Amino acid sequence: MSESNLQTAIINYLQWQYPYIKYCASLGGQYQRYNSQRNKAKANGYVKGFPDLQITEARGGFFGMFIEIKEKGYPTKEQKQWLKELTDRGYYAECLKGFDNIKHAIDAYLKAPPTIGMPSIIEADA
C-alpha cells in the first residue's frame, strides 16, 4: 500500500468510526511534483515537514493529535522537528507506521477523557 493510499484508508476510518470529530489532512509532498505546485503550496502556507494528519479533539491532557503517516521509511529531520515542537506545545504528536498501528493510536487517543480547563482566548484577553 502506498503512503497516499494508507492516508486515504485512515481518513475513511475516521469518517466511519468518528464522524463527529474535526480533523484536517495535510497535502504534504504528494501534490508537489512540479516546481509550480511547490511554489504555490509554499505561498499558501504549507511548511515542509508538517504532519500528515491533525485531529483537533483535546483528549488525555493534550490539545490535539498530530500524526506523521508512514507506510515504510523514517521521518525526515523536518518532520522530526515538527513532532518535537508540537509535543513541547502540549499536543500528542507521533510518527506512526501502518494502518493497524495508526488506527490503534487514534482509538486510544479518542477514548481518553476530554482535556478540560483549557483557557479560552476571550478569557485570556480579559
What's the structural domain count of the chain?
1
Q: Would you say residue 33 lies in a domain?
A: no
Output the pLDDT for position 75.
95
Low-confidence ranges of the chain (pLDDT < 70): 27-33, 118-126
Q: Would you say residue 101 lies in a domain?
A: yes
Q: Would you say residue 43 lies in a domain?
A: no
Output the pLDDT for position 11.
96
Give the domain extent around 111.
3-28+49-125
Cβ-based burial of 24 (10 A; exposed 0-12, middle 13-18, buried ≥19) = exposed
Question: Nearest 5 degrees, angle CA 90-CA 92-CA 33?
Answer: 115
CATH of the domain at 18: 3.40.1350.10
